[in-house]
Chain A
């Protein structure tokens, strides 16, 4: 599908590197996180009365990387479990499980992640594992719900044509249903990831790391500079992640507008 032999096709579908700009921005952002001294200056300007304007126990860059690792872990679980789940319950064999899956997933999101964290504590102990699990449950809903919606709203004529052309069920899923459902699925993934990234600030409650560390420390010692440091960092990561996912969506579905 990628290389062409006869006359060259218009190359716009593979044109350029649509993810180059996001990549560069990520590097810039992480570079900024690494400039501990700049943050110190900025924060002491914003909070002149703070005893120490910047969280010193761990560098901002490390906190951000921990935060991203937790997000990536939970996000990967969401995709690896949520998407196959949605595929399964939209097949004839799994159709009976659909209401059950929908309910479990909905409960997963209504349950406060903080409560899940504490409840998971006896099983996973202190550390990031419990946090990843709680965030996974919390972020499952948008991916599953969007995927279900995406599979349900595939154009009937296209599916009929696929069957009539002689695609097997499995081939229909891989070559027709998934590619066509991708935009809506990706929108769900985008929502999930941003949600997880923002909520991952609760991880330090059970000993996980990340940008929640300065926020919670700041709350404990009433140092608003710490809180601001963590919050600004989380917000900028969330914005960039959201934008990156938007670009990815466009790059993966060139057949849309």
Chain B
């Protein structure tokens, strides 16, 4: 859906991007991850032509973006930025209606759509429609930013550190809700972040970048299991195994309860990492697993967590790497 072909960006003598090729499949959420200055935002902004490449081509769909009218192109792509950039002189509803209005939708249609979008991102339209941006909390403002990006139902979404400016609990909630939304909407999302945990949590695939180049492009599981370069290894750090556990759903590790009655239990919808953390915290080896109703239905053992963490050939999606 989005395709970069040998993209180079020069600013004078400085090469911000040194020939990046990358393919983002339709309906996938791909994060551009890397330290600041690695070129991830530059790469993102080339998709809607806020920055033009010095060399190389960017395709959206099958179209070379340089052959499209830039204003038309941008109206067809959702755009969310860290500082949100809500229009302070417009109400929340007017902010969400911006792109539908630019596309010439009728008043009724765009307003109905904007209200629907507010509901979708968890903001009660009755309460929030008439507010001005300065009357919103950081989390609320970011929800409005997301609603605004989604309002015209674009197939592609560009998100530049969208959750970077909110406090950690809000951030986690926004990530969870966004993931849930994405599982329904199946947009093609390009997502810039410098936060490894965030990338691991939300990505279908991670493109790890450094000094204008792609270091590794893989699913989070593969990236964490087999880093390809010293830089990747270094960037992932010593806790990458823990991060791997955060991608493994607990329900695959549950065993029958038997006669044993564990003192502590965890929801079956949790991730292996949460279970591991709970075991460490309580100094125990077995953990009860409860179903939706809170009934203990099984048990997870420390040994199976260790096995899952060290498994070298865990079943993973077939991976095609595009970088050295």
Q: Would you call B186 an interface residue if the criterion is a C-beta within 8 Å of the partner chain's C-beta atoms? A: no
Q: Is the CB of A6 within 8 A of B89?
A: no
Q: Would you call B130 an interface residue if the criterion is a C-beta within 8 Å of the partner chain's C-beta atoms? A: yes
* Contact A165-B132, Cβ < 8 Å, known A180-B89, A253-B89: no
Q: Would you call A10 an interface residue if the criterion is a C-beta within 8 Å of the partner chain's C-beta atoms? A: yes
Q: Is the CB of B50 within 8 A of A163?
A: yes
Q: Would you call A1 an interface residue if the criterion is a C-beta within 8 Å of the partner chain's C-beta atoms? A: yes
Query: Within 8 Å CB of A155, what residues of B?
Result: 85, 88
Query: Within 8 Å CB of A179, what residues of B?
Result: 89
B16 smallest CB distance to A (angstroms): 18
Q: Is the CB of B71 within 8 A of A255?
A: no
Q: Is the CB of A161 within 8 A of B85?
A: yes
Q: Is the CB of A255 within 8 A of B102?
A: no
Contact string, B105-130, partner A, CB cutoff 8 A, digits 1/0?
00110011001000000000110011
Q: Would you call A92 an interface residue if the criterion is a C-beta within 8 Å of the partner chain's C-beta atoms? A: no
Contact string, B194-230, partner A, CB cutoff 8 A, digits 1/0?
0000000000000000000000000000000000000
Q: Is the CB of B87 within 8 A of A176?
A: yes
Q: Is the CB of B81 within 8 A of A160?
A: yes
A12 smallest CB distance to B (angstroms): 8
Query: Within 8 Å CB of A10, what residues of B?
Result: 130
Q: Would you call B301 an interface residue if the criterion is a C-beta within 8 Å of the partner chain's C-beta atoms? A: no
Interface size on B, residues (CB 8 A): 38
Q: Is the CB of A158 within 8 A of B75?
A: no
Query: Within 8 Å CB of A257, what residues of B?
Result: 134
Q: Is the CB of A157 within 8 A of B85?
A: yes
Q: Would you call B93 an interface residue if the criterion is a C-beta within 8 Å of the partner chain's C-beta atoms? A: yes
B19 smallest CB distance to A (angstroms): 25
Q: Is the CB of A9 within 8 A of B93?
A: yes
Which of these, B83, B115, B126, contacts A157 with CB under 8 Å?
A: B83
Query: Within 8 Å CB of A9, what residues of B?
Result: 91, 93, 129-130
Q: How far is the CA of A158 from the CA of B91 in the complex (A)?
A: 14
Kindly report which residue of chain A lies nearest to residue B70, judged by CB atoms: A166
Query: Within 8 Å CB of A165, what residues of B?
Result: 74-75, 79, 98-99, 102, 148
Query: Within 8 Å CB of A24, what residues of B?
Result: none
Q: Would you call A49 an interface residue if the criterion is a C-beta within 8 Å of the partner chain's C-beta atoms? A: no
Query: Within 8 Å CB of B86, what residues of A?
Result: 158, 161
Q: Would you call A167 an interface residue if the criterion is a C-beta within 8 Å of the partner chain's C-beta atoms? A: yes
Q: Would you call B72 an interface residue if the criterion is a C-beta within 8 Å of the partner chain's C-beta atoms? A: yes
Q: Is the CB of A164 within 8 A of B81?
A: yes
Q: Is the CB of B94 within 8 A of A161?
A: no
Q: Would you call B84 an interface residue if the criterion is a C-beta within 8 Å of the partner chain's C-beta atoms? A: yes
A10 smallest CB distance to B (angstroms): 4
Q: Is the CB of B83 within 8 A of A255?
A: no
Kindly report which residue of chain B lies nearest to residue A7, judged by CB atoms: B126
Q: How far is the CA of A208 from the CA of B48 in the complex (A)?
A: 58
Q: Would you call B232 an interface residue if the criterion is a C-beta within 8 Å of the partner chain's C-beta atoms? A: no
Query: Within 8 Å CB of B83, what residues of A?
Result: 157
Query: Within 8 Å CB of A180, what residues of B?
Result: 87-89
Q: Is the CB of A255 within 8 A of B125?
A: no
Q: Is the CB of B84 within 8 A of A157?
A: yes
Q: Would you call A110 an interface residue if the criterion is a C-beta within 8 Å of the partner chain's C-beta atoms? A: no
Q: Is the CB of A5 within 8 A of B107?
A: yes
Q: Would you call A162 an interface residue if the criterion is a C-beta within 8 Å of the partner chain's C-beta atoms? A: yes
Give chain A's interface residues, CB within 8 Å of chain B.
1, 4-7, 9-10, 13, 155, 157-168, 171, 176, 179-180, 253-257
- 26 inter-chain pairs at a CB distance below 8 angstroms, sorted by A residue, are A4-B111, A5-B111, A9-B91, A9-B93, A13-B130, A157-B81, A158-B85, A159-B85, A161-B86, A161-B87, A162-B85, A163-B74, A164-B85, A164-B158, A165-B79, A165-B98, A165-B99, A166-B71, A166-B74, A166-B76, A167-B98, A167-B102, A171-B102, A255-B133, A255-B134, A256-B134
Give chain B's interface residues, CB within 8 Å of chain A.
48, 50, 71-76, 79, 81, 83-91, 93-94, 98-99, 102, 107-108, 111-112, 115, 125-126, 129-130, 132-134, 148, 158
